[in-house]
Amino acid sequence: MQKALDQMNLQLHHVISDLGGKTGWLIVEAILAGERDPHQLAKLRDPRTHASEETIASHWWATIAASILFTLRQSLTGFRQNSQLIADCDLEIELLLKEFAPGDDPARARCRAAVATQAQAAAQRDDFDLRTQLHRIFAVD
């Protein structure tokens, strides 16, 4: 997505720290929906965004070709699909962790490394408390 935005000469990355945040998503979706007015796009900024509407609008010197829009749309679709796959994995991990009994046998120690690697991804989900589940299973923090 960043490459497509760069090809459009839309320099959002200079004013928005996280393209994957609310402001970035709203602007990308508006561009794909046909919005081209930089001031209208800048109005989509989240109030928590440090950059002002004027600053965001000033970083728009767009040259939008159909091929670039196609690339942007494909990139956004791929990102959403990958995000869904990650969420599916998080759900499966959650279900498997619930099968462990508290303080399970130390022979399961080899599983700890695999579970820990998934901890970061699963911890990003607000509705799943991985820390509590791991403490329940392994009886340690």
Can you give the pTM of this predicted structure? Answer: 0.58
For residue 53, CA distances in Å to 8, 18, 37 come to 19, 16, 12
Q: For 25, phi and psi rounded to 5 degrees?
A: -65, -45
pLDDT digits (tens, 9 = 90+) for 21-45: 788 888 889 989 988 888 888 888 8
43/56 Cα distance (integer angstroms): 9
75/71 Cα distance (integer angstroms): 6
pLDDT digits (tens, 9 = 90+) for 58-109: 777 667 888 989 999 999 999 889 989 999 999 998 888 887 766 655 556 5
129/111 Cα distance (integer angstroms): 18
